[in-house]
Structure 1
Amino acid sequence: MSMTFNPDPPEPTPEEMAAALADLEHLANSRPAAPPPAPKMGETKRVRKLRAQVAEAHLLADLQDDDTPILLDTPKVRTRRTAAHQAARLHALGRDPEMRAWQADRMRKLLVTAGLVSLTLALAWSTAGVQHFAADGAPAWSPGWVFAWLVEPFLSLALLVVVGARAFLGVRGRPLNDRTLVRIEWLFLGLTLGMNAWPYLPFIASDFTVSRLVLHILGPVVAVAIVTALPIILAAFAALHHDPDGTPTGPSYRANAAVDELTARARHLVETGRLSADSGADKFRRALGCGMDTARAIRDALRTDPARGEPGR
Protein backbone atom coordinates (compact mmCIF):
# COMPACT_ATOMS: atom_id res chain seq x y z
CA MET A 1 0.00 0.00 0.00
CA SER A 2 1.51 3.26 -1.11
CA MET A 3 0.67 6.80 0.29
CA THR A 4 0.82 9.99 -1.80
CA PHE A 5 2.09 13.10 -0.02
CA ASN A 6 0.79 16.45 -1.34
CA PRO A 7 3.16 19.23 -0.24
CA ASP A 8 0.70 22.06 -1.35
CA PRO A 9 -2.67 21.72 0.42
CA PRO A 10 -5.65 23.32 -1.40
CA GLU A 11 -6.63 26.94 -0.47
CA PRO A 12 -9.82 27.35 1.56
CA THR A 13 -12.87 28.65 -0.21
CA PRO A 14 -14.51 32.01 0.72
CA GLU A 15 -17.35 30.13 2.40
CA GLU A 16 -14.88 28.27 4.63
CA MET A 17 -13.11 31.55 5.54
CA ALA A 18 -16.40 33.21 6.48
CA ALA A 19 -17.38 30.23 8.64
CA ALA A 20 -13.99 30.29 10.42
CA LEU A 21 -14.29 34.05 11.14
CA ALA A 22 -17.79 33.57 12.50
CA ASP A 23 -16.53 30.84 14.86
CA LEU A 24 -13.73 33.09 16.12
CA GLU A 25 -16.17 35.98 16.73
CA HIS A 26 -18.50 33.65 18.62
CA LEU A 27 -15.65 32.47 20.84
CA ALA A 28 -14.56 36.04 21.56
CA ASN A 29 -18.07 37.14 22.53
CA SER A 30 -18.68 34.11 24.69
CA ARG A 31 -15.63 34.73 26.88
CA PRO A 32 -16.61 35.81 30.39
CA ALA A 33 -16.10 39.45 31.26
CA ALA A 34 -12.96 40.28 33.09
CA PRO A 35 -13.62 40.74 36.79
CA PRO A 36 -13.08 44.22 38.21
CA PRO A 37 -9.59 44.83 39.46
CA ALA A 38 -9.19 43.78 42.98
CA PRO A 39 -8.56 46.61 45.39
CA LYS A 40 -4.99 47.11 46.26
CA MET A 41 -3.72 46.15 49.61
CA GLY A 42 -4.57 48.83 52.17
CA GLU A 43 -7.08 50.69 49.83
CA THR A 44 -9.95 51.73 52.00
CA LYS A 45 -13.39 53.10 51.12
CA ARG A 46 -12.13 56.63 51.67
CA VAL A 47 -9.33 56.11 49.16
CA ARG A 48 -11.72 54.73 46.54
CA LYS A 49 -14.05 57.74 47.03
CA LEU A 50 -11.18 60.17 46.59
CA ARG A 51 -9.99 58.27 43.50
CA ALA A 52 -13.48 58.63 41.99
CA GLN A 53 -13.50 62.35 42.76
CA VAL A 54 -10.11 62.81 41.10
CA ALA A 55 -11.29 60.94 37.98
CA GLU A 56 -14.44 63.05 37.88
CA ALA A 57 -12.36 66.21 38.22
CA HIS A 58 -10.21 65.20 35.24
CA LEU A 59 -13.33 64.62 33.11
CA LEU A 60 -14.81 67.97 34.17
CA ALA A 61 -11.56 69.76 33.36
CA ASP A 62 -11.61 68.27 29.86
CA LEU A 63 -15.23 69.33 29.30
CA GLN A 64 -14.77 72.76 30.82
CA ASP A 65 -12.75 73.97 27.84
CA ASP A 66 -15.76 73.40 25.54
CA ASP A 67 -17.68 76.71 25.11
CA THR A 68 -20.63 75.19 23.28
CA PRO A 69 -23.07 75.46 26.24
CA ILE A 70 -22.19 79.16 26.60
CA LEU A 71 -23.00 79.84 22.93
CA LEU A 72 -26.55 78.50 23.29
CA ASP A 73 -29.36 81.06 23.88
CA THR A 74 -31.26 80.70 27.10
CA PRO A 75 -35.08 81.11 27.05
CA LYS A 76 -34.71 84.60 28.54
CA VAL A 77 -32.25 85.64 25.82
CA ARG A 78 -34.52 84.31 23.08
CA THR A 79 -37.49 86.16 24.57
CA ARG A 80 -35.51 89.40 24.71
CA ARG A 81 -34.22 88.95 21.15
CA THR A 82 -37.77 88.35 19.91
CA ALA A 83 -39.00 91.50 21.66
CA ALA A 84 -36.12 93.56 20.23
CA HIS A 85 -36.77 92.27 16.72
CA GLN A 86 -40.46 93.08 17.02
CA ALA A 87 -39.69 96.59 18.30
CA ALA A 88 -37.36 97.21 15.34
CA ARG A 89 -40.03 96.04 12.90
CA LEU A 90 -42.66 98.26 14.51
CA HIS A 91 -40.29 101.23 14.44
CA ALA A 92 -39.60 100.71 10.74
CA LEU A 93 -43.32 100.32 10.08
CA GLY A 94 -44.04 103.51 12.00
CA ARG A 95 -41.72 105.43 9.65
CA ASP A 96 -43.35 104.04 6.53
CA PRO A 97 -45.15 106.89 4.66
CA GLU A 98 -48.19 104.75 3.89
CA MET A 99 -48.56 103.70 7.53
CA ARG A 100 -48.17 107.30 8.69
CA ALA A 101 -50.79 108.43 6.17
CA TRP A 102 -53.17 105.72 7.40
CA GLN A 103 -52.62 106.74 11.03
CA ALA A 104 -53.20 110.41 10.21
CA ASP A 105 -56.37 109.62 8.27
CA ARG A 106 -57.72 107.49 11.11
CA MET A 107 -56.92 110.17 13.71
CA ARG A 108 -58.48 112.88 11.54
CA LYS A 109 -61.73 110.92 11.16
CA LEU A 110 -61.76 110.22 14.89
CA LEU A 111 -61.34 113.91 15.73
CA VAL A 112 -64.03 114.96 13.26
CA THR A 113 -66.44 112.39 14.69
CA ALA A 114 -65.71 113.46 18.26
CA GLY A 115 -66.11 117.12 17.29
CA LEU A 116 -69.47 116.57 15.60
CA VAL A 117 -70.75 114.49 18.53
CA SER A 118 -69.64 117.19 20.97
CA LEU A 119 -71.29 119.85 18.79
CA THR A 120 -74.55 117.89 18.76
CA LEU A 121 -74.50 117.49 22.54
CA ALA A 122 -73.71 121.19 23.02
CA LEU A 123 -76.65 122.18 20.83
CA ALA A 124 -78.88 119.71 22.66
CA TRP A 125 -77.75 121.29 25.96
CA SER A 126 -78.99 124.69 24.78
CA THR A 127 -82.39 123.34 23.72
CA ALA A 128 -83.98 124.03 27.12
CA GLY A 129 -82.68 127.59 27.17
CA VAL A 130 -83.96 128.33 23.68
CA GLN A 131 -87.32 126.78 24.54
CA HIS A 132 -87.62 129.03 27.59
CA PHE A 133 -86.87 132.09 25.45
CA ALA A 134 -89.21 131.07 22.61
CA ALA A 135 -92.12 130.08 24.88
CA ASP A 136 -92.10 133.60 26.40
CA GLY A 137 -94.12 132.53 29.43
CA ALA A 138 -96.68 130.44 27.53
CA PRO A 139 -98.58 127.91 29.69
CA ALA A 140 -97.20 124.38 29.77
CA TRP A 141 -98.45 122.13 26.95
CA SER A 142 -100.05 125.03 25.16
CA PRO A 143 -99.35 125.28 21.39
CA GLY A 144 -96.78 128.05 21.90
CA TRP A 145 -95.03 126.09 24.66
CA VAL A 146 -94.88 122.91 22.54
CA PHE A 147 -93.71 124.62 19.35
CA ALA A 148 -90.99 126.40 21.33
CA TRP A 149 -89.24 123.04 21.72
CA LEU A 150 -88.82 122.87 17.92
CA VAL A 151 -86.85 126.12 17.60
CA GLU A 152 -83.46 124.78 18.70
CA PRO A 153 -83.69 121.45 16.78
CA PHE A 154 -84.25 123.04 13.38
CA LEU A 155 -81.55 125.63 14.05
CA SER A 156 -79.15 122.85 15.10
CA LEU A 157 -79.98 120.70 12.06
CA ALA A 158 -79.33 123.61 9.70
CA LEU A 159 -76.05 124.34 11.46
CA LEU A 160 -75.01 120.69 11.37
CA VAL A 161 -75.64 120.58 7.61
CA VAL A 162 -73.11 123.35 7.04
CA VAL A 163 -70.58 122.10 9.59
CA GLY A 164 -70.90 118.48 8.41
CA ALA A 165 -70.37 119.45 4.78
CA ARG A 166 -67.28 121.49 5.63
CA ALA A 167 -65.91 118.70 7.81
CA PHE A 168 -66.47 116.02 5.17
CA LEU A 169 -64.87 118.04 2.38
CA GLY A 170 -62.01 118.98 4.69
CA VAL A 171 -61.35 115.29 5.40
CA ARG A 172 -61.25 114.66 1.65
CA GLY A 173 -58.67 117.41 1.15
CA ARG A 174 -61.08 120.00 -0.33
CA PRO A 175 -61.67 122.58 2.43
CA LEU A 176 -64.83 124.62 1.97
CA ASN A 177 -64.09 128.14 3.20
CA ASP A 178 -66.82 130.06 1.44
CA ARG A 179 -67.59 133.30 3.25
CA THR A 180 -71.34 132.85 2.89
CA LEU A 181 -71.25 129.50 4.69
CA VAL A 182 -69.11 130.98 7.44
CA ARG A 183 -71.63 133.77 7.92
CA ILE A 184 -74.47 131.24 8.07
CA GLU A 185 -72.63 129.32 10.78
CA TRP A 186 -72.10 132.42 12.88
CA LEU A 187 -75.70 133.53 12.36
CA PHE A 188 -77.06 130.26 13.73
CA LEU A 189 -74.58 130.24 16.60
CA GLY A 190 -75.33 133.87 17.43
CA LEU A 191 -79.07 133.17 17.52
CA THR A 192 -78.56 130.16 19.78
CA LEU A 193 -76.24 132.08 22.10
CA GLY A 194 -78.52 135.11 22.24
CA MET A 195 -81.68 133.13 23.00
CA ASN A 196 -79.91 131.18 25.75
CA ALA A 197 -78.35 134.22 27.40
CA TRP A 198 -81.07 136.87 27.06
CA PRO A 199 -83.41 135.84 29.91
CA TYR A 200 -80.46 135.63 32.33
CA LEU A 201 -78.58 138.85 31.48
CA PRO A 202 -78.14 141.62 34.06
CA PHE A 203 -81.05 144.05 34.23
CA ILE A 204 -83.17 141.46 32.39
CA ALA A 205 -83.36 138.61 34.88
CA SER A 206 -85.32 139.33 38.05
CA ASP A 207 -82.73 137.42 40.08
CA PHE A 208 -79.40 137.65 38.21
CA THR A 209 -76.59 135.21 39.07
CA VAL A 210 -73.38 134.63 37.15
CA SER A 211 -73.56 130.88 37.64
CA ARG A 212 -77.01 130.66 36.00
CA LEU A 213 -75.86 132.76 33.05
CA VAL A 214 -72.72 130.66 32.52
CA LEU A 215 -74.72 127.45 32.80
CA HIS A 216 -77.13 128.48 30.06
CA ILE A 217 -74.52 129.82 27.63
CA LEU A 218 -72.21 126.81 28.10
CA GLY A 219 -73.72 124.85 25.20
CA PRO A 220 -73.53 127.69 22.64
CA VAL A 221 -69.98 128.58 23.72
CA VAL A 222 -68.84 124.98 23.19
CA ALA A 223 -70.56 124.95 19.79
CA VAL A 224 -68.78 128.17 18.79
CA ALA A 225 -65.44 126.73 19.89
CA ILE A 226 -65.92 123.53 17.89
CA VAL A 227 -67.09 125.30 14.74
CA THR A 228 -64.08 127.63 14.97
CA ALA A 229 -61.49 124.96 15.74
CA LEU A 230 -62.61 122.22 13.35
CA PRO A 231 -61.59 123.96 10.06
CA ILE A 232 -58.20 124.88 11.56
CA ILE A 233 -57.57 121.26 12.59
CA LEU A 234 -58.61 119.94 9.18
CA ALA A 235 -56.37 122.46 7.41
CA ALA A 236 -53.42 121.31 9.52
CA PHE A 237 -54.11 117.68 8.59
CA ALA A 238 -54.39 118.60 4.91
CA ALA A 239 -50.91 120.20 5.01
CA LEU A 240 -49.37 117.26 6.87
CA HIS A 241 -46.40 115.47 5.24
CA HIS A 242 -46.20 111.76 5.96
CA ASP A 243 -42.57 111.21 4.94
CA PRO A 244 -40.36 111.40 8.09
CA ASP A 245 -37.50 112.73 5.94
CA GLY A 246 -39.62 115.69 4.84
CA THR A 247 -40.25 114.56 1.27
CA PRO A 248 -43.81 115.40 0.14
CA THR A 249 -45.96 112.31 -0.35
CA GLY A 250 -49.12 111.49 -2.25
CA PRO A 251 -51.50 113.88 -0.45
CA SER A 252 -49.14 116.80 -1.18
CA TYR A 253 -49.12 115.92 -4.86
CA ARG A 254 -52.90 115.83 -4.83
CA ALA A 255 -52.94 119.26 -3.17
CA ASN A 256 -50.66 120.63 -5.91
CA ALA A 257 -52.96 119.15 -8.54
CA ALA A 258 -55.92 120.93 -6.89
CA VAL A 259 -54.06 124.25 -7.01
CA ASP A 260 -53.30 123.72 -10.70
CA GLU A 261 -56.97 122.99 -11.37
CA LEU A 262 -58.07 126.14 -9.53
CA THR A 263 -55.47 128.17 -11.44
CA ALA A 264 -56.90 126.90 -14.72
CA ARG A 265 -60.40 127.91 -13.58
CA ALA A 266 -59.16 131.34 -12.55
CA ARG A 267 -57.45 131.79 -15.91
CA HIS A 268 -60.74 130.96 -17.64
CA LEU A 269 -62.55 133.57 -15.50
CA VAL A 270 -59.93 136.15 -16.47
CA GLU A 271 -60.22 135.29 -20.17
CA THR A 272 -64.02 135.60 -20.06
CA GLY A 273 -63.81 138.96 -18.30
CA ARG A 274 -65.43 137.85 -15.07
CA LEU A 275 -62.22 138.57 -13.17
CA SER A 276 -59.17 140.69 -13.72
CA ALA A 277 -55.66 139.33 -13.54
CA ASP A 278 -54.83 142.28 -11.29
CA SER A 279 -57.56 141.39 -8.79
CA GLY A 280 -56.63 140.87 -5.20
CA ALA A 281 -56.34 137.50 -3.53
CA ASP A 282 -59.65 138.00 -1.72
CA LYS A 283 -61.57 138.19 -5.03
CA PHE A 284 -59.94 134.97 -6.22
CA ARG A 285 -60.79 133.33 -2.91
CA ARG A 286 -64.47 134.27 -3.15
CA ALA A 287 -64.76 133.31 -6.82
CA LEU A 288 -63.06 129.94 -6.42
CA GLY A 289 -64.15 129.07 -2.87
CA CYS A 290 -60.59 128.31 -1.75
CA GLY A 291 -58.37 129.37 1.12
CA MET A 292 -56.48 132.66 1.25
CA ASP A 293 -53.07 131.01 0.83
CA THR A 294 -54.29 129.17 -2.25
CA ALA A 295 -55.83 132.37 -3.61
CA ARG A 296 -52.51 134.20 -3.22
CA ALA A 297 -50.68 131.42 -5.06
CA ILE A 298 -53.23 131.57 -7.91
CA ARG A 299 -52.95 135.36 -8.07
CA ASP A 300 -49.15 135.21 -8.28
CA ALA A 301 -49.32 132.46 -10.91
CA LEU A 302 -51.62 134.55 -13.12
CA ARG A 303 -49.52 137.67 -12.72
CA THR A 304 -46.43 135.79 -13.90
CA ASP A 305 -48.32 134.10 -16.76
CA PRO A 306 -46.07 134.18 -19.89
CA ALA A 307 -49.13 135.05 -22.00
CA ARG A 308 -49.37 138.43 -20.24
CA GLY A 309 -45.69 139.15 -20.66
CA GLU A 310 -45.47 140.84 -17.26
CA PRO A 311 -43.21 140.00 -14.34
CA GLY A 312 -44.71 139.11 -11.00
CA ARG A 313 -45.41 141.92 -8.61
Structure 2
Amino acid sequence: MLAREAAEAAELRAHQSHPDVVALRVERVRTQVDRLCWAGIVLGLAFTMTNVQQFAAAGSSAWSLPWLAAWLLDPTVSLVLLAILRAEQVTARYQVATGPWVRRAKWFTLAATYVMNTWASYAAGSVAGVVLHSVPPLVVFVAAEAVTDLRDKLTDAVTAAFTEAHHRTVPHAAMNAGVEVHEPARRPARRGRGDHRRTSFAEYLTTARAAWCPGVMVTPAWVREVTGCSRGLSSRLAAVLTAEVAGSAEGGDAP
Protein backbone atom coordinates (compact mmCIF):
# COMPACT_ATOMS: atom_id res chain seq x y z
CA MET A 1 0.00 0.00 0.00
CA LEU A 2 2.68 2.48 1.04
CA ALA A 3 4.90 1.44 -1.84
CA ARG A 4 2.07 2.09 -4.33
CA GLU A 5 1.33 5.50 -2.79
CA ALA A 6 5.00 6.38 -2.85
CA ALA A 7 5.21 5.41 -6.53
CA GLU A 8 2.12 7.46 -7.37
CA ALA A 9 3.48 10.44 -5.42
CA ALA A 10 6.83 10.18 -7.20
CA GLU A 11 5.11 10.06 -10.59
CA LEU A 12 2.93 13.06 -9.72
CA ARG A 13 5.92 15.04 -8.48
CA ALA A 14 7.86 14.17 -11.63
CA HIS A 15 5.06 15.64 -13.75
CA GLN A 16 4.70 18.73 -11.53
CA SER A 17 8.44 19.43 -11.57
CA HIS A 18 8.79 18.93 -15.33
CA PRO A 19 10.50 22.02 -16.82
CA ASP A 20 7.66 22.66 -19.27
CA VAL A 21 5.05 22.46 -16.48
CA VAL A 22 7.03 24.83 -14.27
CA ALA A 23 7.47 27.31 -17.12
CA LEU A 24 3.77 27.01 -17.98
CA ARG A 25 2.81 28.09 -14.45
CA VAL A 26 4.83 31.28 -14.82
CA GLU A 27 3.37 31.79 -18.30
CA ARG A 28 -0.12 31.66 -16.78
CA VAL A 29 0.84 34.30 -14.22
CA ARG A 30 2.14 36.49 -17.04
CA THR A 31 -1.15 36.06 -18.88
CA GLN A 32 -3.10 37.06 -15.76
CA VAL A 33 -0.90 40.13 -15.29
CA ASP A 34 -1.44 41.14 -18.91
CA ARG A 35 -5.20 40.79 -18.67
CA LEU A 36 -5.46 42.77 -15.43
CA CYS A 37 -3.24 45.57 -16.74
CA TRP A 38 -5.16 45.75 -20.01
CA ALA A 39 -8.47 45.88 -18.15
CA GLY A 40 -7.23 48.75 -15.96
CA ILE A 41 -5.81 50.67 -18.94
CA VAL A 42 -8.98 50.30 -21.03
CA LEU A 43 -11.24 51.31 -18.13
CA GLY A 44 -9.04 54.32 -17.37
CA LEU A 45 -9.14 55.47 -20.99
CA ALA A 46 -12.90 54.95 -21.13
CA PHE A 47 -13.28 57.14 -18.04
CA THR A 48 -11.43 60.00 -19.72
CA MET A 49 -13.49 59.86 -22.92
CA THR A 50 -16.35 62.08 -21.69
CA ASN A 51 -14.07 64.81 -20.35
CA VAL A 52 -12.00 64.85 -23.53
CA GLN A 53 -15.20 65.12 -25.59
CA GLN A 54 -16.36 68.09 -23.52
CA PHE A 55 -12.94 69.70 -23.94
CA ALA A 56 -13.06 69.24 -27.72
CA ALA A 57 -16.73 70.26 -28.07
CA ALA A 58 -16.02 73.59 -26.33
CA GLY A 59 -19.68 74.26 -25.52
CA SER A 60 -21.12 73.21 -28.88
CA SER A 61 -24.79 72.28 -28.86
CA ALA A 62 -25.59 68.62 -28.41
CA TRP A 63 -25.76 66.51 -31.60
CA SER A 64 -24.28 69.26 -33.74
CA LEU A 65 -21.43 68.37 -36.08
CA PRO A 66 -18.72 69.85 -33.80
CA TRP A 67 -20.26 68.02 -30.83
CA LEU A 68 -20.29 64.70 -32.72
CA ALA A 69 -16.78 65.20 -34.12
CA ALA A 70 -15.50 65.84 -30.59
CA TRP A 71 -16.18 62.19 -29.74
CA LEU A 72 -13.48 61.18 -32.23
CA LEU A 73 -10.62 62.94 -30.42
CA ASP A 74 -10.23 60.62 -27.44
CA PRO A 75 -10.44 57.37 -29.49
CA THR A 76 -7.85 58.80 -31.89
CA VAL A 77 -5.34 59.26 -29.08
CA SER A 78 -6.33 56.11 -27.20
CA LEU A 79 -6.06 53.82 -30.23
CA VAL A 80 -2.52 55.01 -30.94
CA LEU A 81 -1.60 54.38 -27.30
CA LEU A 82 -3.19 50.91 -27.33
CA ALA A 83 -1.35 50.04 -30.56
CA ILE A 84 1.97 50.98 -28.95
CA LEU A 85 1.20 48.97 -25.83
CA ARG A 86 0.14 45.97 -27.92
CA ALA A 87 3.40 46.11 -29.86
CA GLU A 88 5.38 46.39 -26.62
CA GLN A 89 3.54 43.32 -25.37
CA VAL A 90 5.16 41.30 -28.15
CA THR A 91 8.59 42.93 -28.05
CA ALA A 92 8.78 42.49 -24.28
CA ARG A 93 7.75 38.85 -24.69
CA TYR A 94 10.86 38.23 -26.80
CA GLN A 95 12.94 40.92 -25.03
CA VAL A 96 13.54 43.01 -28.14
CA ALA A 97 14.48 46.61 -27.41
CA THR A 98 12.39 49.32 -29.06
CA GLY A 99 13.58 52.69 -30.30
CA PRO A 100 13.26 56.03 -28.48
CA TRP A 101 10.34 57.16 -30.65
CA VAL A 102 8.17 54.40 -29.24
CA ARG A 103 8.48 55.76 -25.72
CA ARG A 104 8.10 59.35 -26.94
CA ALA A 105 4.88 58.48 -28.75
CA LYS A 106 3.56 56.70 -25.66
CA TRP A 107 4.39 59.62 -23.38
CA PHE A 108 2.92 62.13 -25.83
CA THR A 109 -0.41 60.29 -26.08
CA LEU A 110 -0.58 59.93 -22.31
CA ALA A 111 0.31 63.60 -21.76
CA ALA A 112 -2.28 64.70 -24.33
CA THR A 113 -4.96 62.61 -22.58
CA TYR A 114 -4.01 64.07 -19.20
CA VAL A 115 -4.08 67.70 -20.39
CA MET A 116 -7.40 67.40 -22.21
CA ASN A 117 -8.96 65.55 -19.29
CA THR A 118 -7.95 68.09 -16.63
CA TRP A 119 -7.97 71.39 -18.56
CA ALA A 120 -11.50 72.37 -17.56
CA SER A 121 -10.80 71.68 -13.88
CA TYR A 122 -7.61 73.75 -13.96
CA ALA A 123 -9.44 76.61 -15.72
CA ALA A 124 -12.23 76.51 -13.13
CA GLY A 125 -9.76 76.38 -10.25
CA SER A 126 -11.37 73.21 -8.90
CA VAL A 127 -8.75 71.29 -6.90
CA ALA A 128 -11.14 68.39 -6.37
CA GLY A 129 -11.83 68.24 -10.10
CA VAL A 130 -8.12 68.25 -10.90
CA VAL A 131 -7.49 65.38 -8.50
CA LEU A 132 -10.49 63.41 -9.74
CA HIS A 133 -9.60 63.75 -13.40
CA SER A 134 -5.87 63.28 -12.81
CA VAL A 135 -6.10 59.86 -11.21
CA PRO A 136 -7.28 57.79 -14.25
CA PRO A 137 -4.73 59.23 -16.75
CA LEU A 138 -1.90 58.89 -14.24
CA VAL A 139 -2.90 55.31 -13.45
CA VAL A 140 -2.89 54.56 -17.17
CA PHE A 141 0.53 56.22 -17.50
CA VAL A 142 2.05 54.26 -14.61
CA ALA A 143 0.47 50.99 -15.77
CA ALA A 144 1.70 51.51 -19.34
CA GLU A 145 5.26 51.98 -18.08
CA ALA A 146 5.14 49.22 -15.47
CA VAL A 147 3.55 46.55 -17.63
CA THR A 148 6.48 46.58 -20.08
CA ASP A 149 9.01 45.94 -17.31
CA LEU A 150 6.73 43.34 -15.76
CA ARG A 151 6.49 41.42 -19.04
CA ASP A 152 10.26 41.56 -19.47
CA LYS A 153 10.90 40.27 -15.94
CA LEU A 154 8.23 37.59 -16.26
CA THR A 155 9.93 36.40 -19.45
CA ASP A 156 13.15 36.14 -17.46
CA ALA A 157 11.20 34.26 -14.79
CA VAL A 158 9.90 31.76 -17.36
CA THR A 159 13.41 31.13 -18.63
CA ALA A 160 14.84 30.87 -15.12
CA ALA A 161 12.06 28.52 -13.98
CA PHE A 162 12.54 26.27 -17.00
CA THR A 163 16.33 26.24 -16.63
CA GLU A 164 16.23 25.55 -12.90
CA ALA A 165 13.68 22.75 -13.29
CA HIS A 166 15.64 21.31 -16.22
CA HIS A 167 18.90 21.26 -14.26
CA ARG A 168 17.11 19.71 -11.30
CA THR A 169 15.28 16.93 -13.16
CA VAL A 170 17.52 15.97 -16.07
CA PRO A 171 20.58 14.86 -14.04
CA HIS A 172 18.44 12.64 -11.81
CA ALA A 173 16.69 11.06 -14.79
CA ALA A 174 20.00 10.52 -16.56
CA MET A 175 21.59 8.97 -13.48
CA ASN A 176 18.68 6.59 -13.07
CA ALA A 177 19.04 5.58 -16.72
CA GLY A 178 22.81 5.17 -16.44
CA VAL A 179 23.56 7.99 -18.87
CA GLU A 180 26.58 10.22 -18.47
CA VAL A 181 25.56 13.83 -17.87
CA HIS A 182 27.59 16.73 -19.21
CA GLU A 183 27.26 19.97 -17.31
CA PRO A 184 26.22 22.96 -19.42
CA ALA A 185 28.75 25.65 -20.15
CA ARG A 186 28.99 28.03 -17.23
CA ARG A 187 28.83 31.75 -17.62
CA PRO A 188 32.09 33.66 -17.19
CA ALA A 189 32.84 34.61 -13.61
CA ARG A 190 32.20 38.23 -12.78
CA ARG A 191 35.36 40.22 -12.41
CA GLY A 192 36.26 42.02 -9.23
CA ARG A 193 36.47 45.77 -8.93
CA GLY A 194 40.24 45.67 -9.17
CA ASP A 195 40.20 43.93 -12.55
CA HIS A 196 39.41 46.52 -15.19
CA ARG A 197 39.62 44.16 -18.17
CA ARG A 198 36.20 43.80 -19.77
CA THR A 199 34.98 40.67 -21.49
CA SER A 200 34.93 41.29 -25.22
CA PHE A 201 32.07 40.65 -27.61
CA ALA A 202 34.04 37.83 -29.24
CA GLU A 203 34.58 36.13 -25.86
CA TYR A 204 30.88 36.30 -25.04
CA LEU A 205 30.08 34.93 -28.49
CA THR A 206 32.53 32.05 -28.04
CA THR A 207 30.90 31.14 -24.73
CA ALA A 208 27.44 31.25 -26.30
CA ARG A 209 28.61 29.04 -29.20
CA ALA A 210 29.99 26.48 -26.76
CA ALA A 211 26.72 26.41 -24.80
CA TRP A 212 24.45 26.11 -27.83
CA CYS A 213 23.22 22.72 -28.99
CA PRO A 214 20.63 21.68 -31.61
CA GLY A 215 17.08 22.29 -30.43
CA VAL A 216 17.95 25.28 -28.22
CA MET A 217 16.16 28.51 -29.18
CA VAL A 218 18.63 31.38 -29.17
CA THR A 219 17.04 34.34 -27.34
CA PRO A 220 18.55 37.31 -25.50
CA ALA A 221 17.41 35.76 -22.21
CA TRP A 222 19.16 32.48 -23.02
CA VAL A 223 22.33 34.33 -24.04
CA ARG A 224 22.34 36.22 -20.72
CA GLU A 225 21.80 32.95 -18.88
CA VAL A 226 24.83 31.19 -20.39
CA THR A 227 27.22 34.13 -20.72
CA GLY A 228 26.29 36.58 -17.98
CA CYS A 229 26.43 39.51 -20.41
CA SER A 230 24.39 42.70 -20.11
CA ARG A 231 20.83 43.08 -21.40
CA GLY A 232 21.87 45.44 -24.18
CA LEU A 233 24.65 43.15 -25.41
CA SER A 234 22.53 40.00 -25.28
CA SER A 235 20.33 41.14 -28.19
CA ARG A 236 23.37 41.61 -30.44
CA LEU A 237 24.87 38.30 -29.40
CA ALA A 238 21.56 36.51 -29.98
CA ALA A 239 21.26 38.05 -33.47
CA VAL A 240 24.81 37.03 -34.46
CA LEU A 241 24.47 33.51 -33.08
CA THR A 242 21.05 33.06 -34.70
CA ALA A 243 22.52 34.06 -38.06
CA GLU A 244 25.37 31.59 -37.55
CA VAL A 245 22.98 28.81 -36.61
CA ALA A 246 20.80 29.50 -39.65
CA GLY A 247 23.86 29.57 -41.90
CA SER A 248 25.24 26.35 -40.46
CA ALA A 249 21.85 24.67 -40.88
CA GLU A 250 21.92 25.50 -44.59
CA GLY A 251 25.52 24.35 -44.89
CA GLY A 252 25.09 21.29 -42.68
CA ASP A 253 27.80 22.28 -40.20
CA ALA A 254 27.58 23.13 -36.52
CA PRO A 255 28.38 26.71 -35.48
Same fold (TM over 0.5): yes
CA distance in 2 between counterparts of 1:195 and 1:257 reads: 40
Larger radius of gyration: 1
CA distance in 1 between counterparts of 2:231 and 2:216 reads: 15
CA distance in 2 between counterparts of 1:174 and 1:256 reads: 7
Give 1:26's aligned residue: none
Give 2:140's aligned residue: 223
Residue-by-residue CA offset, 1:39-86 (whole Å, 9 max, x unaligned): xxxxxxxxxxxxxxxxxxxxxxxxxxxxxxxxxx7xxx99xx85x766
Structure 2: segments with no counterpart, 5+ residues:
168-183, 185-210, 225-229, 238-255
Give 2:152's aligned residue: 235
2:108 aligned with 1:187, yes or no?
yes
CA distance in 1 between counterparts of 2:17 and 2:37 reads: 28
1:205 alignment partner, one of 124, 127, 133: 124
Give 2:30's aligned residue: 108
Q: Classify the secondary structure of the residue corresponding to 1:125.
A: helix
CA distance in 2 between counterparts of 1:107 and 1:147 reads: 41
> Aligned-pair distance for 1:148?
1.0
More helix by share: 2
1:252–1:220 CA distance, 2 compared to 1 (3 A):
farther
1:135 alignment partner, one of 57, 82, 95: 57
2:80 aligned with 1:154, yes or no?
no
Residue-by-residue CA offset, 1:220-260 (whole Å, 9 max, x unaligned): 11210111111111111222202336859999952259869
2:219 alignment partner, one of 255, 259, 273: 255
One-letter identity of the residue aligned with 1:219: P
CA root-mean-square deviation: 3.5
Structure 1: segments with no counterpart, 5+ residues:
1-72, 261-291, 300-313
Q: Percent identity?
A: 26
> Aligned-pair distance for 1:162?
0.9
CA distance in 1 between counterparts of 2:31 and 2:67 reads: 39
Give 2:181's aligned residue: none
1:162–1:142 CA distance, 2 compared to 1 (3 A):
same
Provide TM-score, normalisation by structure 1: 0.51
Counterparts of 1:1-313 in structure 2 under 5 Å?
Answer: 88-171=10-93, 173-201=94-122, 204-205=123-124, 208-210=126-128, 212-240=129-157, 241=160, 242-244=162-164, 247=167, 254-256=218-220, 293-295=231-233
In the alignment, is the contact (CA less than 8 A) between 1:169 and 1:176 conserved in 2? yes
Give 1:11's aligned residue: none
Which structure has more RCO (C-alpha within 8 Å, separation ≥ 6)? 2
One-letter identity of the residue aligned with 2:109: F
In the alignment, is the contact (CA less than 8 A) between 2:37 and 2:147 conserved in 1? yes
